[in-house]
Structure 1
Amino acid sequence: MQHATSLALPAPSRTLCLSGLRRWAGLLAGAAALAAAPLASHAAYPEKAVQVIISFPPAGATDVLARAVGAALSKELGQPIVVENRPGAGGAIGLAAAAKAPADGYTMYLAAITNQAIAASVYAKQPASLIEDFEPVGGVGAVPHALVVPAGLPVKDLAGLVEYLKQAPGKHNFASQGTGTLSHLESELFLLKTGTQALHIPYKGSSQALPELVNGSAAMMFDSIPGSMPLVQGGKLRYLAVASSRRVSLLPDVPTVAESGVPGFEADNWFGFSAPKGTPQAAIDIFSAALQKVLAQPELQQQLGKQGAELRYLPPAELDALIRQEHETWAGVVKSANVQVQ
């Protein structure tokens, strides 16, 4: 019996050793899983809906752009893109909401860059900065404005308008979408560069300004192409030039302001995606790559081209440079024109 017992003792010992090895293997596997977890989460981005905040109400140029590009991005990324309109305070409400959102890759801000650059100089106190509080993700392109005049105004081109204004300095008006908007500052820049004078009459958006322009209450206005197009097609208004640095594909026969004899005039009305400061670089890279793909889609280009949009992808570094340049450019215009918000 003693011999049998001595032979039986090694078996439990071997069992304990195997059990211990299994426990160590389990611990090592768990550690490896934890170490790989961040990589897995990055690789799976996005795992849920991505919110896109904009600073303007529905149906405007920013909203149309956000929803069309967002729908294409949703297909590319495999997750919903939810557009949230946060208008007010010259764009500051939406900007602040996006800046304060969690920096986890699931909130993006589609900035109307040129408008935001103007607001940064016009409004003394801003709750957030597009330069300091965000990471650039990718440029989307531009939705240019055009210079329109009443059809009954006795001018046929931009040179004629300049001469018309110079014949009666300060006796004519120009309309805008509101004080401190791009529509306002484009006109101020135009007056500065042409040495002409006109009185500013601000309205609450294009829907109020355009009918007054048709009635002759103002001699000119810079407005979005989608907003003014129906009245131009109806023979009520006339395009003289586009504000962008190059001609718009929707209006190939309409020259730029610079081409029409005002060198240095350029207002492209840029748009681009930014993310709250601290957003993981992996999320920015994935979103930016998807954006580049969808902006190259002919169907999306055609769809938004009918709205006057000129789609053009800009990588993060180029977008960052553009944002800084736009802030510098429009700060100079605001200062020169002595624009003040009442």
Structure 2
Amino acid sequence: MSKSQDLTRRGFVAGASALGLAGGQAQAQAAFPSRPITLIVPFAAGGSTDIVARLVGQKMGELLGQSIVIDNRAGAGGNIGSTAVARAAPDGYTILMGTISTHALNPAILKTVTFDPVKDFTPISLLAIVPNVMVVHPSFPAKTVQEVLKVLKDNPGKYSYASSGVGTPLHLSGELFKSIGGVSMNHVPYRGAGPALNDVVSGAVPIMFDNLPSSAQFIRGGQLRAIGVTTKERVSSFPDLPTIAEGGLVGYETYTWNALFGPANMPRAVVDRLNAEANKALTDPHVKQRLNDVSAEIVGSTPEALGEHVKIEVAKWFPIAKASGAAIE
């Protein structure tokens, strides 16, 4: 055998091996998912994050051909569930419904930081931006922002407001309201928006700053009175409801967002599959209608766009969270 023939033979064998390896990888990637996927929601059932997770997760499961199991792991402002995903195997079978709390606020207020919001996660897709709303129990003696401010100023320290936990966007929404309005309210933190909402609906706590999706049905049903939305502009599902800024607190604005993340170092093919089906789920007429009903702004981003979004949010909220004095053990 000549030298050139030997080199040709070696090249053929190497090329065949490479093709076989590539084919095996492609087959393995094409097989994803081969079993159910766990979507960890780091808050209690019933809140806005849970609503979005179940809505999008169900449709994604249909598109992926495997069920997506919702696992609510509430506690520490979303830190418990987020940490579980950060430490999970990066195979795409454990993913997170992340929020502004888990990826922008917690790093500033956790006494013990158990993950890096950028380095320890693989961004998948920014799903939606969600407005917050200030609601009160119907027995509360105020119907407008100005009336709320007057009641609170006339009764310093008498009233309390509920939130989904210390350091969450809902907590900071209340602190911002107190700061700009120059009023006093006691903060009552819960393990998620669902339990907090239940107590406000029952009248145990008179005031809450909530994500609009979870409060919408109670507002429409008369169990809660909406005072104002926290975004700059009014929302389409409640066009007659003014913003808190319109009500007199100029410059007031808060909101939250929902996004899918996996553990760091997930295979790109798996990320792309999850991203494609998540974004496709957002175009489903039923999903779009449900999200539009609560004025959630549908996004559906690339993994890279979500990664940049997280960096921007960390830079924006870090000083605000620090100034609030909030701290999570």
Q: How many residues align?
A: 320
Separation in structure 2 between the aligned mates of residue 45 and residue 326 of structure 1, nearest angstrom:
35
Tell me what 1:10 maps to.
none
CA drift of 1:146 comes to 1.2
**Alpha carbons of 1:192 and 1:35: their partners in 2 closer, same or farther (altered >3 Å)?**
same
Task: Note closer, same or farther for the CA distance 1:328–1:68 as it changes in structure 2 (3 Å cut).
Answer: same
- Unpaired runs of 5+ residues, structure 1, are 1-22
Query: What is the distance in 1 between the residues matched to 2:213 and 2:306?
Result: 25
Superposition RMSD in Å = 3.2
- Report the 3-state secondary structure (helix = DSSP H, G, I; strand = E; otherwise coil) of the residue aligned with 2:245: coil
Residue in 1 aligned with 2:290?
A: 303
The answer on 1:319 being equivalent to 2:272 is no
Taking the TM superposition and a 5 Å limit, the aligned residue runs for 1:31-46 are 31-37=17-23, 40-41=26-27, 44=30, 46=32
Pairs within 5 Å for 1:169-248: 169-205=156-192, 209-210=196-197, 213=200, 220-229=207-216, 231-248=218-235
Query: Match of 1:16?
Result: none
Tell me if the contact between 1:174 and 1:219 (Cα under 8 Å) persists in the aligned partners. Answer: yes
Q: Percent identity?
A: 34
Q: CA deviation at 1:114?
A: 3.2
Helix, strand or coil for the counterpart of 2:318? helix
Asked whether the equivalents of residues 42 and 283 of structure 1 are also in contact (C-alpha less than 8 Å), the reply is no
Q: Kindly indicate whether the alpha-carbon contact (under 8 Å) linking 1:103 and 1:279 is maintained by their aligned counterparts in 2.
A: yes
TM-score (norm 1): 0.79
Deviation at 1:142, TM superposition (A): 3.0
Judged with a 3 Å threshold, the aligned counterparts in structure 2 of structure 1 residues 86 and 243 are, in CA distance, closer, same or farther, namely same
Residues 1-342 of structure 1: matches in 2 within 5 Å? 31-37=17-23, 40-41=26-27, 44=30, 46-49=32-35, 50-205=37-192, 209-210=196-197, 213=200, 220-229=207-216, 231-306=218-293, 309-341=296-328
How far, CA to CA, are the matches of 1:206 and 1:91 in structure 2?
A: 11
Does the C-alpha gap of structure 1 residues 281 and 265 become closer, same or farther in structure 2, counting only changes over 3 Å? farther
Q: Quick check: 1:46–1:79 contact (8 Å CA) kept in 2?
A: no
CA distance in 1 between counterparts of 2:161 and 2:179 reads 14
Whole-Å Cα distance in 1 between the matches of residues 202 and 91 of structure 2? Answer: 51
Matching residue's letter, 1:254? L
Could you say what secondary structure the match of 1:284 adopts?
helix
Match of 1:6?
A: none
- Bigger mean CA offset, 91-100 vs 203-212: 203-212
Say which SS state the counterpart of residue 183 (structure 2) adopts: coil
- Structure 2's unaligned 5+ residue stretches are 1-8
| Counterpart residue type for residue 272 of structure 1 | A
Q: For the structure 1 residues 171 and 57, does the alpha-carbon distance in structure 2 shift closer, same or farther, using more than 3 Å as the test?
A: closer
1:47 CA drift (Å): 4.1
Identify which range, 253-262 or 128-137, moves more after superposition: 253-262
CA gap of 1:213–1:332, structure 2 versus 1, over 3 A, is same
